[in-house]
Amino acid sequence: MMEEVILNQPKKSYFEPMHTAEHILNQTMVRTFGCTRSVNAHIEKKKSKCDYALPTCPTDEELQTVEDKVNEIIEMNLDVTEELMPSSQAQAEFDLTRLPDDASDTLRIVRVGNYDACPCIGMHVENTAEIGRFKIISHDYEEGRLRLRFKLI
């Protein structure tokens, strides 16, 4: 069974719309600020948070641009797909440093249209049309860490 192969763990059961929105947010942050994907995340149904390593705090206008871009991608009604990939192939395309030591040689890659792709064991929607509207509800910045809190409306 596919989920038994992935990282030697079953799929994590996150709230699918929020988890998929996190993927889009991560890619938007990477493209906007040149940072890495979130260094820490807590994904829940009512509200979620992601932390990003950034040298300075983004302006309110920059964060509004992030929110707008995430919603633009959601509104494109992109298919969310998965594929299996040998880790030897995945390491050329993805940062695998956060994988657990017991990760298998076959990874599950989740793609949000042509916008985002990353190894993941979480559950996702089948199409971004299922997500709803993304809203950054607050943020703070301390010692190089931006924390974004967000919800779906």
> Tokens 């009512």 label which residue?
46
- Residues 88-135 have pLDDT tens digits of 999 999 999 888 888 889 999 999 999 999 999 899 999 999 999 999
Q: Confirm if 144 and 53 have CB atoms less than 8 A apart.
A: yes
- State the CATH number of the domain containing residue 26: 3.30.980.10
Q: Count the domains in the chain.
A: 1
pLDDT at 6: 43
Domain that holds residue 122: 2-152
And the tokens for 128?
Answer: 């971004």
Q: Give the amino acid at 153.
A: I
And the tokens for 73?
Answer: 């991608």
- Residues 21-31 have pLDDT tens digits of 999 999 999 99
- Residues 126-148 have pLDDT tens digits of 999 999 999 999 999 999 999 99
Question: Which pTM was predicted?
Answer: 0.91
Q: How far apart are CA 147 and CA 127, in angstroms?
A: 27
Q: How far apart are CA 99 and CA 139, in angstroms?
A: 27
Beta bridge partners of 127: 79
